[in-house]
Structure 1
């Protein structure tokens, strides 16, 4: 097994290739982006920010890190890694970006799953500086980037694989940076995902309509895999971490959050779909 940082970065201001120069990445125009002491690099210019501190907060990142490192979503990570590496020939090198990587859990799982003969060139990108800081502290083998899915700081046609886990897909950008035939693996919540928690924190639940898969332009749909299992959470801390790492924390009322905080155990349904797309240059 060999893990190497992804190299084909692009300037977020003009799209020119970035070259490593000491402790910074620079483009031919002269734009320069310093490498932090933790090893990550901020490629989110201030003019592309919608707020002073976009993305998940430090507390949300910490809650997600505790929850995921406890193994609660391991079946999702296993299914993702299996789909990513299926059919990959021995001695192949796979360039992969996790777009919206959070604190890097799924990218680390993928790195652990490859065979001794395979090489992964990995990069994780998130708009939250707190998420990237946490990822960089846990994994020195991948490239960690603060950036936006709306303007990926990646050179065109350089990725074999792109992951989008519970994130915000920007398909025109995904198509731009993937090689022809490159894969997009996207994980989204299903209608019953965390239903039991939502029933506690909300007065009523909206009726979930069955949504047909919308095929994004530039992609072909290969398959969809349903991942569903009961998850038993014991202890108020685990339940609090699950709530804190989701948007439900801010959508719920104070009364709903109080009801969740009073729980000592809870079994929730994990219900997600893993959709496998291929970049289709004819699409």
Structure 2
């Protein structure tokens, strides 16, 4: 079976291996975590939460599911899949984590690309939002889905071939810890012109873009960077509302800006996305 769940999970309380016992995952010390009927597990201890319901809300997740499901970000998913799979070999399964997976759109696209190429993936999606992980698990029973934090990944050291961070919050020390030597970190971030046309409508003025660092994160070496720049057309007030709802722009915009966006019936938008590739160094200790 080319798409398989990644099952080498660690206890978030003591780091010990988690083994399945019935409908629970349990470590040697007796810490137990129930598997939900939808197929995911919550490995985010209460003491690691900064709020009662961290991450994207149920409404944000639903908006993202509708917008991405309509195919607007297909060019981004296609480039991500190509960069992850270009060096993969059919005889070597690729263990891949999407750190901040949302409702699972990008992992599902990666799985489809792997299937088309005859490649085997061991797949793990992790997000701090229980609503996002629930939505992902409902749509994809092939992967493992976990509620957790990038700051303390419930994954053993040096157990992954690839980590994806798609418009997320990278924790490079953790990514370096869980990647095998030579493993790939693909970090995907917005460029200065990403969704510029919409931002010009909802904000009085645009801030100057932050300078991009050419330095690789500690523990990594740079392995190349690519840029995707293209235009998409978003039709309908509902789709535009979903795009706003799935981004921080909804809460950062002024009331006047949100009203101008709500009056739109269609808009042509620029996608400007940077794909930075890093390789995990060989000199990092297993516990680093």
Q: State the TM-score bracket (shorter-chain normalisation).
A: over 0.9
2:195 equivalent in structure 1: 194
Q: Residue deviations 1:244-275, cap 9 Å, x none? A: 10001111111111110010011111101011
Residue 39 (structure 1) aligned with residue 39 (structure 2)? yes
* Deviation, structure 1 residue 229: 0.6
Aligned CA distance change for structure 1 residues 22 and 210 (closer, same or farther; 3 Å): same
**RMSD of Structure 2 on Structure 1 (CA):** 1.1
* Deviation, structure 1 residue 208: 1.8
* Deviation, structure 1 residue 226: 0.1
Q: Residue deviations 1:64-85, cap 9 Å, x none? A: 1111111111111111111111
* Deviation, structure 1 residue 117: 3.9
Structure 1: gaps spanning 5 or more residues: none
Residue 140 (structure 1) aligned with residue 141 (structure 2)? yes
Give the secondary structure class of the aligned counterpart of 1:76. Answer: helix
Residue 243 (structure 1) aligned with residue 236 (structure 2)? no
* Deviation, structure 1 residue 209: 4.2
Give the secondary structure class of the aligned counterpart of 2:138. Answer: helix
**For residues 44-123 of structure 1, what are the structure 2 equivalents within 5 Å?**
44-114=44-114, 115=116, 117-123=118-124
**For residues 126-275 of structure 1, what are the structure 2 equivalents within 5 Å?**
126-275=127-276
Give the secondary structure class of the aligned counterpart of 1:130. Answer: helix
* Deviation, structure 1 residue 90: 2.1
Counterparts of 2:132 and 2:214, CA distance in 1: 29
Q: Is the 8 A contact 1:2 1:116 kept in 2?
A: no
Q: Residue deviations 1:174-228, cap 9 Å, x none? A: 0000001110111000001111111111111112243233310000111101011
Q: Residue deviations 1:107-156, cap 9 Å, x none? A: 01111111464211101000000000000000000000000000000011
Q: Is the 8 A contact 1:92 1:117 kept in 2?
A: no
Counterparts of 1:25 and 1:213, CA distance in 2: 41
Give the secondary structure class of the aligned counterpart of 2:168. Answer: coil
Q: Is the 8 A contact 1:91 1:117 kept in 2?
A: no
Structure 2 length as normaliser, TM-score?
0.96
Counterparts of 1:8 and 1:217, CA distance in 2: 25
- How many aligned residue pairs are there? 283
1:13 equivalent in structure 2: 13
Counterparts of 2:277 and 2:208, CA distance in 1: 27
Counterparts of 1:96 and 1:129, CA distance in 2: 20
Counterparts of 1:232 and 1:224, CA distance in 2: 26
Q: Is the 8 A contact 2:152 2:174 kept in 1?
A: yes
Q: Is the 8 A contact 2:102 2:127 kept in 1?
A: yes
Q: Is the 8 A contact 2:215 2:222 kept in 1?
A: no
Give the secondary structure class of the aligned counterpart of 2:212. Answer: coil
